[in-house]
Amino acid sequence: MEYGQFCPLAKATEILGEKWTLLIIRELLMGGTRFNELQKGLSLISPTLLTRRLNDLAAAGVVVKKKIPNQRGHEYFLTPMGRELLPIVEMLGEWGMRWARDSMPDADLDVELLMLYLQRSILTDKLPGNENVIRFRFSDLEQMGDWWLVVKGASIDVCIQDPGKDVDVYLATDLRTMIQVWMGDIPYRAAIADGRMKVVGERALTSNIRRWLAPSIFAGIPPAQEIA
């Protein structure tokens, strides 16, 4: 996509303006390096299109593509040029929280993306002991309604099948409520008080969930209609 203009915004958009490109950069900024890791955060993108976008970013100098030693496949890393996009991506996210989230259709409620974000949000050093298991039950999902996060030291595994371990914290809610809570739209206590969420576990873990499960970096940004 070329605009035929010398304007720096036009030149930047030639690199970043294609569909999925900024979301790929989001995933790279959040620590994804391998193809399957990037796909987890971009569930609707086809492998062919993801490959094309990564190759375009590599050709533009935004990412560097490196062969995985002694394995098939490649890893992708942001270059200094790519890492400089962090504040731009953050500002776009803030703008989206303020102006573009006034409605959230059911089609946008992606449980796999939510669980990936929750996995990334666990503050492992704030959890006691060597292993902790957090179970999520989404009452409105007939399929993929049960999830487990198994935390061992600094390692976190996401399970869709029961790992057969004692559960330390159990959260039962619907998908929309969990997204709203993590995004900072409503507090845990409010969701629990009005019956939209049930939390069971040791009080040391359940009395302040945000202590070990960080909210979205965009939590706390009010929508535009609340500012006016």
Residue ranges of domains in the chain = 8-84, 106-211
Cα–Cα distance measured from residue 199 to residue 177, given in angstroms and rounded to the nearest whole number: 13
Query: Can you read off the two tokens belonging to residue 91?
Result: 């500002």
Cα–Cα distance measured from residue 26 to residue 165, given in angstroms and rounded to the nearest whole number: 33
Q: For the chain, which ranges sit under pLDDT 70?
A: 227-228
Query: Can you read off the two tokens belonging to residue 192?
Result: 């629990």
Give the per-residue pLDDT at 1.
76
CATH number of this structure's domain 8-84 = 1.10.10.10
Alpha-carbon distances of 195 from 51, 106, 146, rounded to whole Å? 44, 20, 19
Give the per-residue pLDDT at 102.
77
Query: Within 10 Å of residue 165's Cβ, how many Cβ atoms?
Result: 13
Domains 8-84 and 106-211 equal at CATH topology level: no
Q: Which residue, chain included where needed, has tokens 């298991």?
A: 133
Q: What is the pTM of this model?
A: 0.91
Chain-centre distance for alpha carbon 14: 26
Query: Can you read off the two tokens belonging to residue 203?
Result: 């009080």
Fold of the domain built from segment(s) 106-211: Nonspecific Lipid-transfer Protein; Chain A (3.30.1050)
Give the per-residue pLDDT at 37.
93
Q: Classify residue 161 by its DSSP letter.
A: S
